[in-house]
Amino acid sequence: MRRWIVACLLLGACGGAPSAPAPRLPAPRVDAAAGVAAPAGLPSCARRGQQPLPARLAAARQGSAVVLAREGSRLLAYVADADSHSVHTVSIDDRRELGHTRLGGSPRQLLVLADGRVVATLSDGARLAVLEPDPDPTRPLATLCERDVPAEPWGLALSPDDGRLVVTSAWAGTLSILDAATFATRRVVPLARDPRGVLVDEGGVAYVSHLVGARMSMVDLASADAAPEVVDLAARKSSPRAQLADMVARRTGSQGYALASVSMPARVGGEASLRRVLLPMVSVDPGDPGRPSSVYYGPPFDGVPKEAPMVSVVDPERKEMVTPYLLAATETTFARECLLPRAAAVRDRTRSLLVTCFGIDALLELDAWALDPFRAERKRFDVPPGPEGVAVDETSGRAVVFSQLGGALTVIDLDHAATRKATIDLDYRPDPKLAAVARGRQLFYRTDDVRISGDGLGCSSCHQDGRDDAITWATPLGARQTLMLAGRVADTQPYGWEGDRATLADYIGNTVTRLGGKGLAQPELESLSAFLLALEGPPAPPARASDAALARRGRALFEDPAQGCVTCHAGSASTDAAVHNLTQGSLGFQSTTFDTPSLRFVRGTAPYFHDGRYPTLEELLADDKSTMGHSASLPEGERAALAAYLRSL
Amino acid sequence: MRPAPWVAALALGGLGLACGTPAARLPARPPAVVTPPAPPAPDEEASAKPGVPLPEPPRVAGARALEGFLATGASRPHARSLDFDVEALPVAAWGEPPGSAGFSIAPVPDGYRLLVSDAVFAEVLLATMPAHDGTAPVAFTAFTGGTFSQGAPPVCGPGHAGTLLARWAGFAPRGWTDRGLEVQMADGDFSLAACRAVAKAYVTARAAAIVPGFVYGLRVRQDESNAGDETLYLLMPRAPMVAASGDPTTPLSVANSGVFTRLSFHLHPGASGAASLRISAASLALWSRLRAGGSGWGFADRAEPHDDLLVGVDVAWQGDDKVASISFALPKTRDAGAYSGLLAAVDRASR
């Protein structure tokens, strides 16, 4: 009994979430207004008006939190304000907001279609919305239709022929391929966890960034069933002071929100003929989990920080990084690094890669042709807090940055940057719950704050948007996996793997001390606690009947006292708020007692266990060497049911 | 294998003589000094200084501006990039060596004497025989014309037997112009009995300027006809800190720095290489001294390389083409005057 209890106790999280299969569509009907087929039973997404709409910019087929369109000679911006559940329409030339549109969810990215309609991912659910701007831009956009997609839709892109719309779903871990005329789902491709940004190249291949795991996925849109290919973005470091073992070790990655592509000439002054995919991220050295570290974190001794900004540059033909090396020619690290890259865009005319950075609240202009553009920074521009998106108008040389936390738009003349920067305050009306924790939210996203860490890291460095980085870190107490916080901290005290902190504020205070920070004052700790408690978990994926039946079987097993799961994972928070001893598999230096973690949202937090030893829930449940119970001896079907139930939590 | 720690070594230069204790690249470097924050550029916010409020407080009722507690220290310097055409650089092939090509190492009471036959300023590398995986760890490297060495000098002379792999490369002030530089390189065996390396393969060619007067490049192939496999060599001023891509078990096969810096990038389809290095104002002065026929004797660099000019090199053979660039970034804390000649040359080359 006891062994089984611990087995359930240490389920860390789960990933590799199987996506929903492509729905079987009924025979399409022809939509007379648009001349396109719409799936029966679904509302048409066709335009209702006849007048020309503001036109998207040439070749702009990638979604962003801010997108541009041209209405005659006037440049407009549509802004996805997730906090306010709104899309703002802004005149860039007049530097004022023209109007805003309330939506039934949190818009994450927008994309302007060829005919001027606007698609929005609603990331707090499992839908995307198709909107039609009004000829009068001061009036709200009309919602033409909504379509179901897997949970937490995030990134958007169109194929070059505008025939396919692709949508990443962050929590579900999928790429949906939709018919761009009818918005009917043609295929849902399962991906590794946390896909975010997406773009499609001229050959019809979709490239997807992943928030965690140092990887990029490639999906051939023309294929009916080809599995995605994965490009490894793990870097090695090189430094005059690095030790050999460190130079050989492969790092991992984090903060893979965005990606962009650039064309470049093969010869100096020649025609653009080469293509590269650029993925701003953070290269992470978590240490060797098999060895204790002397400190939790801290400045490096060789000039290469544990978390260092890096743009992974991929040759799409070879399907690999052009160079995997992270170089540092100094012993000291830079201040004000871009440790939370969030959005990216390319300005081809000046071969610039523009990257927005949370934490330091800046837009960086980098050399897009460099093998690591972060090593070739050209300019940086300060912007209001939380730069969530960036768009570029090649014609006028302006970059437009949307700052979510500041509720503002910044227009930057890239060719005359020193004097030409304007901020446009938006009609920012965040959800009152969010507004109440704004201070803690800003603290959560700050980097380079000496109170929080000694090496520039912020809370969101490991807990991106309150989630986890899927990394197992070497610590003085042994290997420890980052825990997911969003939706998981309410009623789950005590906190930390050791369960030695009674309150959230106490735990945060201890963490910033471990990070080498000088410490936060109690009001700030309380602000952070309030923000974490207000953080909502990921949206629930739509339940499929077959999954539901399996999960019901699994729930019965889970709640069966004979199995003992609920002895520890009890109540709505699925934790008994107690510390348990676990000796199996621990090295001498490691502590062996652990707090029962909550199992909420366990499906999306692979790998599992305090030391991340299990890549999947199935492997955890099937380990016959585990001291945690009898799951390995259960029939495979029952283990599958148990896993299905855990994924439903 | 990583090279042995720096050891005291004595090299004699001036037609191959130099002596003294190693002045730079010692392990006992004092802790790096954190520089004061750079003065903000016009487009940078004032909050780089602690205590200054951030300019944009959250625009939400009840939330106050966060106090500024930003870390001090230099942020990344802004870079200017210069593309260069690898295909336009001279190409040479390894061939038969002249009979005299080689170098010798002679122990003297307080060090050793290094004599290279043809190049005035040369680096020599000695490596053990290749292991089964093909790696050949560098055991010793030194530069003539200065006091830069790494690893233990070979114990050689009567009574010793065997050979080490030897490679050396260098150039001379003669014929050194802004547009080009005569380079000699050789591969051979170092006899432990004779304390002498004899060349087995040799190449001499004129490297062309990438940044006139400062950075030169040359491609070398095993034979003229093999255009699909070559090594790009870049020669430039001494860099106290060099980080380069490549096999970390043989770091000196991709970069080395003494009185000058040599970078090597093995190029074939799909290959790439990158380097990041720091060039100090003193290094530029040394470079000028070498060109004027002087030596690196007595050279001493500062111990604050994080404050030096940051140089990046990127080379890739992508698809059917080679693309390359070199970038220069000067920290705001550094007086630009010492680098004005180099940066002006970069500007001229960019046009």
Q: What is the pLDDT of residue A614?
A: 87
Nearest to A109 by CA among A179, A56, A169: A169
Residue A323 CA to residue A344 CA, distance in Å, equals 20
Q: How confident is the model at residue A160 (pLDDT cuts 50, 70, 90)?
A: very high
B64 vs A473: which has the higher pLDDT = A473
Q: Please state which of the ranges A303-317, A324-338, B135-149 shows the lowest mean pLDDT.
A: B135-149
Residue among B32, B249, B277 minimizing CB distance to A329: B277
The answer to whether A433 faces chain B, any CB pair under 8 Å, is no
Residues 6+ apart with CB under 8 A from A516: A295, A296, A297, A298, A299, A453, A454, A455
Residue B22 CA to residue B300 CA, distance in Å, equals 9
Handedness of CA A52, A58, A63, A68 (dihedral sign): negative
Residue B26: pLDDT above 80?
A: no
DSSP A14-65: ---PPPPPPPPPPPPEEETTTTEEE-TTS--------SPPPEEPTT--B-BS
For residues B122-149, give the mean pLDDT: 75
Residue A61: pLDDT above 60?
A: yes
Q: What is the pLDDT of residue B135?
A: 56
A222 vs A22: which has the higher pLDDT = A222
Query: Could you give the 3-state DSSP secondary structure of residue B5?
Result: coil
Residues 17-76 of B with CB under 8 A from A: 29, 32, 34, 37, 41-45, 48, 50, 54-56, 58-64, 66, 69-76
Q: What is the pLDDT of residue B58?
A: 44
The Cβ of residue A416 has, within 10 Å, a number of other Cβ atoms equal to 10
Within A123-239, residue ranges assigned H as helices are: none
Q: What is the pLDDT of residue A633?
A: 76
Q: What is the pLDDT of residue B130?
A: 61
Q: What is the pLDDT of residue B197?
A: 92
Residues 6+ apart with CB under 8 A from A64: A109, A110, A111, A343, A345, A389, A390, A391
From B43, which residue of chain A is nearest by alpha-carbon distance? A418
Residue A10: pLDDT above 90?
A: no
Residue A451 CA to residue A444 CA, distance in Å, equals 12
A308 vs A620: which has the higher pLDDT = A308
Identity (one letter) of the amino acid at A426? Answer: L
DSSP A536-567: --PPPPPPPHHHHHHHHHHHHHHH-TTT-HHH
Q: How confident is the model at residue A501 (pLDDT cuts 50, 70, 90)?
A: confident
C-alpha dist (Å) from residue B253 to A105, A527, B167, B184: 57, 53, 10, 16
Q: How confident is the model at residue A164 (pLDDT cuts 50, 70, 90)?
A: very high
Handedness of CA A43, A46, A51, A55 (dihedral sign): positive
Residues 6+ apart with CB under 8 A from B140: B125, B126, B149, B150, B151, B152, B153, B154
Angle at B216 between CA B214 and CA B218, to 5 degrees: 175
Residue B343: pLDDT above 90?
A: yes
Q: What is the pLDDT of residue B70?
A: 77
The answer to whether A350 faces chain B, any CB pair under 8 Å, is no
Residues 454-473 of A with CB under 8 A from B: 456
For residues A8-20, give the mean pLDDT: 33
B337 vs B44: which has the higher pLDDT = B337
Are A612 and A528 in contact by the 8 Å Cβ rule? The answer is no
Residue B74: pLDDT above 50?
A: yes
A293 vs B269: which has the higher pLDDT = B269
Q: How confident is the model at residue B173 (pLDDT cuts 50, 70, 90)?
A: confident
Residue A2: pLDDT above 80?
A: no
Identity (one letter) of the amino acid at A483? Answer: L
For residues A407-417, give the mean pLDDT: 90
Q: Please state which of the ranges A111-120, A342-351, A631-640 shows the lowest mean pLDDT.
A: A631-640
Identity (one letter) of the amino acid at B219? Answer: R
Residue keyed to tokens 């490096």: A300
Q: What is the pLDDT of residue B147?
A: 79
Most confident segment among A484-488, A602-606, B54-58: A484-488
When the pLDDT of each residue in chain A is averaged and rounded to a whole number, the result is 86
Q: What is the pLDDT of residue A454?
A: 87
Q: What is the pLDDT of residue A197?
A: 98
Residues 6+ apart with CB under 8 A from A462: A254, A468, A469, A471, A482
The whole-angstrom distance between B288's CA and the closest CA on chain A is: 23
Nearest to A153 by CA among A195, A123, A196: A123
Contact between chains at B58 and A438 (C-beta distance less than 8 A): yes
Residue keyed to tokens 């999947």: A616
The answer to whether A186 faces chain B, any CB pair under 8 Å, is no
Residue among B34, B85, B245 minimizing CB distance to A332: B34
Contact between chains at A456 and B325 (C-beta distance less than 8 A): no
The widest CA-to-CA distance across chain B, in whole angstroms, is 86
Buried b (16+ CB within 10 A) or exposed e, A171-207: bbbbbbbbbbbbbbbbbbbbbbbbbbbbbbbeebbbb
Residues of A in contact with B75 (CB under 8 A): 334-337, 380
Reported as a single tens digit per residue, the pLDDT across A212-271 is 999 999 999 999 888 999 999 999 988 887 776 677 788 999 999 999 999 988 776 677
Burial of B159 (0-12, 13-18, 19+ CB in 10 A): exposed
Using the 8-state DSSP alphabet, how is residue A291 labeled? S
Nearest to A456 by CA among A516, A383, A508, A376: A516
The answer to whether A408 faces chain B, any CB pair under 8 Å, is yes
From B250, which residue of chain A is nearest by alpha-carbon distance? A244
For residues B242-250, give the mean pLDDT: 78
pTM of the model: 0.87
Contact between chains at A367 and B81 (C-beta distance less than 8 A): yes
For residues B65-74, give the mean pLDDT: 71
Structure tokens at B55: 């300019």
The Cβ of residue B85 has, within 10 Å, a number of other Cβ atoms equal to 16
Contact between chains at A435 and B61 (C-beta distance less than 8 A): yes
End-to-end CA distance of chain A: 23
Are A440 and A530 in contact by the 8 Å Cβ rule? The answer is yes
Query: Could you give the 3-state DSSP secondary structure of residue B146?
Result: coil
From A249, which residue of chain B is nearest by alpha-carbon distance? B248
Q: What is the pLDDT of residue A576?
A: 76
Among residues of chain A, what percentage have pLDDT more than 70? 89
- Specify which residues B150 forms β-bridges with: B141
Residues B333/B335/B336/B341 CA torsion (nearest 10 deg): -140
The whole-angstrom distance between B78's CA and the closest CA on chain A is: 5
Q: How confident is the model at residue A284 (pLDDT cuts 50, 70, 90)?
A: very high
Residue B24: pLDDT above 70?
A: no
The whole-angstrom distance between A523's CA and the closest CA on chain B is: 12
Residues of B in contact with A380 (CB under 8 A): 43-44, 75, 78
For residues B176-189, give the mean pLDDT: 94
Residue B123: pLDDT above 80?
A: yes
DSSP A565-589: HHHHS-TTTT--S-EEE--TT--TT
Nearest to A174 by CA among A103, A112, A227: A227
Most confident segment among A7-11, A115-119, A428-432, B127-131: A115-119
Reported as a single tens digit per residue, the pLDDT across B249-277 is 665 578 888 899 999 999 999 999 999 99
Handedness of CA A297, A299, A303, A305 (dihedral sign): positive
Residue A121 CA to residue A168 CA, distance in Å, equals 9
The answer to whether B347 faces chain A, any CB pair under 8 Å, is no
Q: How confident is the model at residue A297 (pLDDT cuts 50, 70, 90)?
A: low
Are A301 and A239 in contact by the 8 Å Cβ rule? The answer is no
For residues A376-394, give the mean pLDDT: 94
Residues of B in contact with A384 (CB under 8 A): 56
- Specify which residues A355 forms β-bridges with: A344, A364
For residues A172-182, give the mean pLDDT: 95
Among residues of chain A, what percentage have pLDDT more than 90? 56
Residue A367 CA to residue A370 CA, distance in Å, equals 6
Q: What is the pLDDT of residue A299?
A: 65
ipTM value of the model? 0.85
Are A327 and A375 in contact by the 8 Å Cβ rule? The answer is yes
Q: How confident is the model at residue B57 (pLDDT cuts 50, 70, 90)?
A: very low
Query: Could you give the 3-state DSSP secondary structure of residue A458?
Result: coil
From A414, which residue of chain B is nearest by alpha-carbon distance? B43
Residues 78-97 of B with CB under 8 A from A: 78-81, 83-85, 87
The whole-angstrom distance between A313's CA and the closest CA on chain B is: 11
Residues of B in contact with A419 (CB under 8 A): 42
The whole-angstrom distance between A160's CA and the closest CA on chain B is: 22
Residue B49: pLDDT above 50?
A: no
Among residues of chain B, what percentage have pLDDT more than 70? 75
Are B265 and B323 in contact by the 8 Å Cβ rule? The answer is no
Handedness of CA A139, A144, A150, A156 (dihedral sign): negative
The answer to whether A494 faces chain B, any CB pair under 8 Å, is no
Residue A5: pLDDT above 80?
A: no
C-alpha dist (Å) from residue A345 to A92, A393, A412: 18, 10, 14
For residues A531-550, give the mean pLDDT: 82
Nearest to A37 by CA among A156, A160, A186, A141: A186
Residue B288 CA to residue B210 CA, distance in Å, equals 17
Identity (one letter) of the amino acid at A454? Answer: G
B216 vs A335: which has the higher pLDDT = B216
